[in-house]
Amino acid sequence: MEEKDDIYGSTLKQFDRIADMLGLDESIRVRTKWPVRSLEVSIPIEMDDGRTESFLGWRVQHNRARGPCKGGITVHPDVNQRKVANNATLMTLKCAVADIPFGGAKGGIRADHKKLSIREFESLIRRYTTEILPLIGPDKDIPAPDVGTNAQVMAWIADTFSMTQGKTVLGVVTGKPIDIGGSLGRQEATGRGCVVALLESLKFLEIKNIKGLTVAIEGMGNVARPVLEILCQKGMKVVAISDSQGAVYNPHGLNAKKLLEHKSKTGSVKNFSGTKDIIQGELFELPVDILVPAAIPGSINKKIAENIQARVIAEGANAPVTLDGYSVLEEKDVFIVPDILANSGGVIVSYFEWVQNLQSLYWTEKDVNDKLERKMVNVSRRVFDFSKQTEVSSRDGAFMIALKKVAEATRIRGLYPR
């Protein structure tokens, strides 16, 4: 059975498989498969009790053939170089399939930010920023929030970078607070984009009546919450949802507003009135039409995939299905909206934020949401139509479109020095 920690190995296997399908030249394959740069840094900070503690951090730039690198920063105890490299690779493909002029990068710090004071956390972020300073900049590599980071963290990074430049440089990060150049609509963008891609998949499958379709959502973060709210507004029935502490189920559907209020008051979805508490594994096996894994990588392996009853899976998280899990789902004819498509809304609106920063011209939330929807509709249709024409899965189709774009940019630019 494939382990969650070998997600990068799965991604590399998928890369080679798609490269074979495309007949990719060996020289291009070598130059597009591996990260162009990986920096490991030591991050010493003074703790509140006077001790000095050192943390490990990374910034991995996978590819920059199509433009500056782009990707979030994760702060988590389980972060390592391979996981960061994996996510950087997926970011390259995500930006390419979304047809935005970025390459892929990711950052990570191995720490439990929940155990740090605000001052310690800020010191950690600012020192990390200083250590990766040679790599980042609005025309080089633009970080963003990810697991364990948020708009405030981006503000600290932007300020630290700006202090070293002697001027304000807002475009060095995206996902910032609105008051210092953040974009309206950015926080909900990944979830909103996931919904658009899901709805386009239902049209592609000729499922015309979406009202009453049942949905189970793994996760309760920045991706899952907008998915929950928007799907309920559209008349779909979210019957189960989970967070890090548990999961709840009601076959008659959940009230999104009351559930969010319960989560805010208690810190968990558990014990929500009118629902049954279930374990995480049960959520995946429920008799629903749609499953949205929007939490962590590798949550659906072969064993879990064998018991999935959903007809459609929209991958809100990065790589939520393992390689052996995909094989099972394809045999069961489950339609998958792949992660590099389904969760690309965040990087698309990050691109919008970056453009607004460079132009010093800011858009309304409606402008941002409308642009995002048009982009997601066009990208989704391109992926689904290509998959149908080439008789491959939607996942393979998305990877083929993305890798072909990256490979062509690499070929056109040439190799220096020769």
H/E run at residue 81: helix 81-97
Length of the chain: 418
Fold of 4-16+23-179: Rossmann fold (3.40.50)
User: What is the distance between the alpha carbons of residues 228 and 272, in angstroms, rounded to a whole number?
Assistant: 15
The pLDDT value recorded for residue 386 is: 98
The pLDDT value recorded for residue 298 is: 87
The ranges assigned to domains in the chain are 4-16+23-179
**Token pair 């040679």 in the structure block, residue:** 134
For strands 37-46 and 290-293, give the pairing: unpaired
**Ordered DSSP codes for 371-418:** HHHHHHHHHHHHHHHHHHHHT--HHHHHHHHHHHHHHHHHHHH--S--
Bond before 44 cis per omega within 30 degrees: no
- Four-CA torsion 319, 320, 324, 325, nearest 10 degrees: -140
For 403-416, b where at least 16 C-beta lie within 10 A, e where not — what string? bbbbbebbbeeeee
Q: What is the number of H-type helices and E-type strands within the chain?
A: 15, 12
Query: What's the DSSP call for residue 50?
Result: S
Q: Is 48 exposed, middle or buried (0-12, 13-18, 19+ CB in 10 A)?
A: exposed
Look at the pTM and tell me if it is higher than 0.75: yes
pLDDT in tens, 189-205: 999 999 999 999 999 99
Cβ-based neighbours of 368, under 8 Å, separated by 6 or more: 183, 184, 185, 186, 189, 349, 352
User: What is the distance between the alpha carbons of residues 53 and 45, in angstroms, rounded to a whole number?
Assistant: 6
What residues act catalytically?
Answer: 106
Q: Which residues of the chain have pLDDT under 50?
A: 1-4
Where would I find the H helices in 267-364? 280-284, 302-305, 323-331, 339-342, 345-359
Q: Are 107 and 72 in contact (CB under 8 A)?
A: yes
The pLDDT value recorded for residue 160 is: 98
The pLDDT value recorded for residue 2 is: 40
User: What is the distance between the alpha carbons of residues 345 and 185, in angstroms, rounded to a whole number?
Assistant: 10
User: What is the distance between the alpha carbons of residues 34 and 57, in angstroms, rounded to a whole number?
Assistant: 19
Q: Is 361 exposed, middle or buried (0-12, 13-18, 19+ CB in 10 A)?
A: exposed
pLDDT in tens, 243-287: 989 999 999 999 999 999 999 999 999 999 999 999 988 999 999
Q: What are the two backbone dihedrals, phi and then psi, of residue 277, each rounded to the nearest 5 degrees? A: -70, 130
